[in-house]
Amino acid sequence: MHAITVTDRDAGLDGLTLTEMPYPYASENDVIVRVHTAGFTPGELDWPGTWTDRADRDRTPSIPGHELAGVVVELGYGTTGLTVGQRVFGTVDWTRNGTLAEYTAVEARNLAPLPADIDDTVAAALPISGLTAWQALFDHGGLTAGQTVLIHGAAGGVGSLAVQLAREVGAHVIATGRADDRDLALDLGAHAFLDLGADELESVGEVDLVLDVVGGDILERSTALVRPGGTLVTIAEPPSTQPAHGIAKFFVVEADRARLADLAQRVRDGRLRPLVGAVRPLTEAAAAYGRDRRTPGKTIIQVTKDQ
Ligand SMILES: NC(=O)c1ccc[n+]([C@@H]2O[C@H](COP(=O)([O-])OP(=O)(O)OC[C@H]3O[C@@H](n4cnc5c(N)ncnc54)[C@H](OP(=O)(O)O)[C@@H]3O)[C@@H](O)[C@H]2O)c1
């Protein structure tokens, strides 16, 4: 089957190579999915699981991409809950071959049925960004109505969904990003927008929750904005400092079939809008991520076209 693989840790996005890989094996409780559309997070080339398995053994050449929409074509031994021919969407474990491939083996519990009225392109933009936004805001951040949340990178995959989810729950939402992102962030539901390139981050004042997707200096400086008893949740890197009277935490998103189903229902209801950017074929996947200009929204790879 055709797949994108990586073999060289130092090559970055230039290491994404279109190649032939063996058809995957369906283990216990797995399904094999024919991948229609796939998402890829450039940062995953820095994740340990891209390069080694759960026992820290080299697993290259590995196939990146850990979210998909597609159709189940095979069930593993003992697999229940999904059927051959069913449309599904969801995530693939970080330490397994991923979704930039015509077929992939996935634990069935990582997938949810995909409603007929959500197309494959929108569905592939939802799993990692949607689950991450939800878990950051509510599971780790404890966000509730009336609280103030600062969401960095509001025009990105995670930030754009987080702004919408936080607004819906009744929080006061301050979004950040590049100057060009202002209109989009306000349109998604932010009450206020801060241009990280021009505005003073400290002008935001104290907030109950910071959701950081950027890391580095932005993460460091955001720590001081957490009000006593508040929380900073970062998905970029473990924080090196803690707020004076709050807590800062880093986490890695977990698969969650029930939450995927909930997010899909929000999309159907028009309450949640995943931002789809460029849609490119598998043959152009490497070029799609080695982008030299900004494309708002999540880049989606159309891996196969059969429905
Ligand atoms: N821990 C986890 O479980 C987890 C899960 C998902 C993602 N992540 C990580 O979280 C990060 C964000 O993911 P994503 O999918 O949302 O990425 P994304 O779609 O690229 O969004 C990031 C957004 O932040 C903006 N941004 C970055 N640095 C900025 C700066 N200095 N000033 C202003 N805006 C800035 C980006 O703008 P530009 O496009 O202009 O740079 C973009 O709009 C990635 O590093 C990803 O690997 C971690």
**CATH code (residue 165):** 3.40.50.720
User: Is residue 256 included in any domain, yes or no?
Assistant: no
Pair (215, 158) in one structural domain: yes
What confidence category does residue 307 fall into, taking pLDDT thresholds of 50, 70 and 90? low
Strand 172-177 to strand 192-195: parallel, antiparallel, or no bridges (unpaired)? parallel
Please indicate whether residue 73, judged by its CB atom, sits closer than 6 Å to ligand 1: no
User: 135 with 220, same domain?
Assistant: yes
| 56 φ/ψ sector (left φ>0, alpha ψ -120 to 50, else beta) | left
CA of residue 40 to ligand 1 center, whole Å: 12
Q: Are strands 103-107 and 30-39 parallel, antiparallel or unpaired?
A: antiparallel
Q: 112: part of which helix (H) or strand (E)? A: strand 111-113
| CA distance to 58, 69, 256, per residue, from 87 (Å) | 32, 7, 17
Q: Do 65 and 140 belong to one domain?
A: no
The dihedral built from the CA positions of residue 92, 98, 99 and 105, taken in this order, carries a sign that is: negative
Report the C-alpha gap between 272 and 222 in whole angstroms. 27
Give the CATH number of the domain where residue 16 resides: 3.90.180.10
Q: Is the shortest distance between the CB of 268 and ligand 1 below 6 Å?
A: no
Residue to probe by mutation, ligand 1, list 160, 176, 178, 293, most atoms within 8 Å of CB: 178
Is residue 183 predicted with pLDDT exceeding 80?
yes
Instruction: Report pLDDT digits (tens) over 103-120.
Output: 999 999 999 999 999 999
Domain that residue 243 falls in: 128-250
Residue 29 located in a structural domain: yes
Distance CA 216, CA 234 (A): 11
pLDDT at 291 over 60: no
Phi, psi at 101, each rounded to 5°: -160, 155
Alpha helix locations (H) across the chain?
120-124, 127-134, 157-169, 182-188, 216-222, 257-269, 285-289
Q: Are residues 103 and 160 in the same domain?
A: no
Instruction: Count structural domains, the chain.
Output: 2
In a domain, 202, yes or no: yes
Mean pLDDT across the stretch 141-170?
A: 97
Residue 258 included in any domain: no
Given this model, what pLDDT does residue 296 score? 72
Check if 175 has its Cβ closer than 6 Å to any atom of ligand 1.
no
On whether both 17 and 81 belong to a single domain, the answer is: yes
Q: What is the pLDDT of residues 129-149, one digit of tens each?
A: 999 999 999 999 999 999 999
> Residue range 199-213: average pLDDT?
96
Same domain, 189 and 281: no
More confident residue, 291 or 138: 138
Is 65 contained in some domain? yes
Query: Which atom of ligand 1 lies at the shortest distance from residue 135's CA?
Result: 3
Q: Is the pLDDT of residue 223 over 80?
A: yes
Q: Is 219 found in the same domain as 294?
A: no
Reading the block at residue 34, the tokens are: 């024919």
Nearest atom in ligand 1 to 298's CA:
19
pLDDT digits (tens, 9 = 90+) for 230-258: 999 999 999 999 999 999 999 999 999 99
Give the pTM. Answer: 0.96
Establish if 307 belongs to a structural domain. Answer: no
